[in-house]
């Protein structure tokens, strides 16, 4: 194992629940990486992941510190509940391991910044997972929008109308808690579409929002709507829910005074760009988790690209495609949405300070008055 150019990067998986095995499966498909260790506090989860995706001698750990002491592990995928990511990542960085961290990078900006700092101090790479960004269609849309092909940008919207059942929320005691999920329809599911909107449109200057818990018996929002103003002057809507039937997945709609592009999942639904025919569809329609079920429909291709990117970043000592600071952006917008809603829809300006990030965003249960 190693980190020098063309040496196989030894991979460890931290957290082997729903998404950990997806990372393991993706590692199998990347030539420069090999899964060498699986860690889960529940031994059977780690064993199952090692058996299914390992090559016979994958080490199994229930104690993260022990896995981090394993010299065969060069890089780790952090796949634990969201509010543990920074804590897990900081000790991984201190152990000299490169990191691919699931979304959201963590659930407070302060913790995300501490993780970024720890990675910088220990000279390890920190990459965030947002698989929708890795698709060619997302890059094509960004390029068209940023290069001015739609004219003056007028509106940029992200709609994510998902369905998550009571059983889904009951499937882990960290789900839908402020402390470990950090929020609901936006912080867990909607974070993907918000990241994509920011990637395509650029930063948001200010927003107003309403979050509600309309259907599910959970402490966090199951439905949220924000109106936003981008730094480039355009306006837009961010909408996220996990309580509609049928779940419809993620849509991004961008319009300028000269043209419109609509992405439905990772497919281009409308490409109305002056002087251009429809773009060639380069991807299958895939989505994040899928509108109905968090695991069904998950396409491993995005995770393969993330792992291949981090391997290449390690070999060539360059930054990853989605460095920590990029992965932080969507979390900041979501925190601003929560803050606005808690203030009755008041206008919140970005960037946020730590004061806006921390208090009240922890576990206030159903007593939290949106």
Which residues contact ligand NAD by CB under 6 A?
14-20, 39-42, 45, 64, 79-82, 84, 102-103, 129, 131, 172, 188, 288-289, 294
Concatenating the DSSP letter of every residue in 138-196 gives HHHHHHHHHTTTTSSEEEEEEEEE-B--HHHHHT-TTTT-TTTT-SSIIIIIIHHHHHH
CB of 57 to ligand NAD, least distance (A): 20
Q: Pick the closer one to ligand NAD by CB: 76 or 313.
A: 76
**Number of other CB atoms surrounding residue 322 within 10 Å:** 26
**Number of other CB atoms surrounding residue 307 within 10 Å:** 27
CB of 150 to ligand NAD, least distance (A): 28
Q: Pick the closer one to ligand NAD by CB: 105 or 145.
A: 105
Q: Pick the closer one to ligand NAD by CB: 153 or 252.
A: 252
CB of 220 to ligand NAD, least distance (A): 13
Q: Pick the closer one to ligand NAD by CB: 137 or 227.
A: 137
CB of 327 to ligand NAD, least distance (A): 11
Give which of 160, 164, 232 is closest to 196, Cα–Cα.
160
**Number of other CB atoms surrounding residue 301 within 10 Å:** 17
Q: Do residues 187 and 107 touch, judged by C-beta distance below 8 A?
A: yes
CB of 55 to ligand NAD, least distance (A): 21
Place of tokens 């992405």: 263
* First and final C-alpha spacing in the chain: 50
Q: Pick the closer one to ligand NAD by CB: 77 or 213.
A: 77
CB of 126 to ligand NAD, least distance (A): 15
Question: Distance of CA 232 to CAs 185, 207, 273, 304, 356, Å?
Answer: 27, 14, 19, 33, 24
Report which secondary-structure segment, H or E, holds 92.
Answer: helix 85-94
Give the nearest residue (CB) to ligand NAD.
17
Q: Pick the closer one to ligand NAD by CB: 3 or 335.
A: 335
Q: Which residues pair with 252 in a beta bridge?
A: 158, 263
Q: Pick the closer one to ligand NAD by CB: 45 or 200.
A: 45
Per DSSP, 366 falls in state G
CB of 272 to ligand NAD, least distance (A): 29
| Distance in angstroms (rounded) separating the CA atoms of residues 71 and 105 | 25
């Amino acid at each position: 194992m190693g980190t020098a150019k063309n040496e196989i990067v030894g991979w460890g998986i931290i957290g082997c629940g729903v998404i950990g095995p997806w990372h393991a499966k993706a590692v199998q498909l990347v030539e420069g990486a090999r899964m060498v260790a699986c860690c889960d506090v529940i031994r059977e989860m780690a064993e199952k992941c090692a058996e299914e995706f390992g090559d016979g001698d994958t080490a199994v750990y229930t104690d993260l510190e022990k896995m981090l002491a394993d010299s065969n592990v060069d890089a780790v995928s952090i796949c634990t509940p969201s509010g543990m990511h920074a804590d897990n990542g900081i000790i991984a960085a201190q152990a000299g391991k490169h990191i691919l961290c699931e979304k959201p990078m963590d659930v407070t900006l302060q913790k995300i910044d501490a993780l970024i700092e720890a990675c910088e101090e220990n000279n390890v790479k920190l990459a965030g997972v947002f698989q929708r960004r890795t698709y060619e269609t997302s890059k094509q849309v960004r390029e068209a929008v940023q290069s001015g092909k739609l004219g003056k940008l007028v509106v940029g919207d992200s709609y994510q109308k998902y369905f998550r059942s009571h059983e889904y929320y009951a499937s882990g005691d960290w789900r839908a808690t402020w402390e470990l999920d950090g929020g609901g329809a936006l912080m867990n599911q909607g974070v993907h579409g918000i990241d994509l909107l920011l990637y395509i449109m650029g930063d948001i200057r200010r927003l107003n929002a309403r979050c509600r818990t309309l259907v599910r018996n959970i402490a966090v929002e199951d439905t949220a709507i924000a109106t936003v103003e981008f730094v480039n002057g355009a306006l837009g809507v961010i909408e996220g829910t996990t309580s509609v039937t049928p779940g419809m997945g993620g849509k991004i709609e961008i319009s300028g005074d000269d043209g419109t592009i609509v992405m439905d999942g990772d497919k281009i639904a409308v490409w109305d760009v002056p002087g251009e025919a429809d773009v060639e569809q380069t991807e299958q329609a895939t989505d994040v988790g899928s509108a109905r079920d968090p695991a069904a429909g998950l396409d491993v291709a995005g995770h393969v690209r993330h792992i291949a990117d981090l391997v290449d970043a390690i070999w060539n000592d360059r930054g990853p495609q989605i460095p920590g600071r990029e992965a932080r952006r969507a979390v900041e917008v979501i925190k601003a949405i929560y803050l606005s809603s808690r203030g009755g829809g008041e206008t919140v300006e970005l960037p946020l300070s730590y004061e806006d990030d921390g208090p009240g965003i922890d576990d206030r249960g159903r007593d939290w008055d949106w």
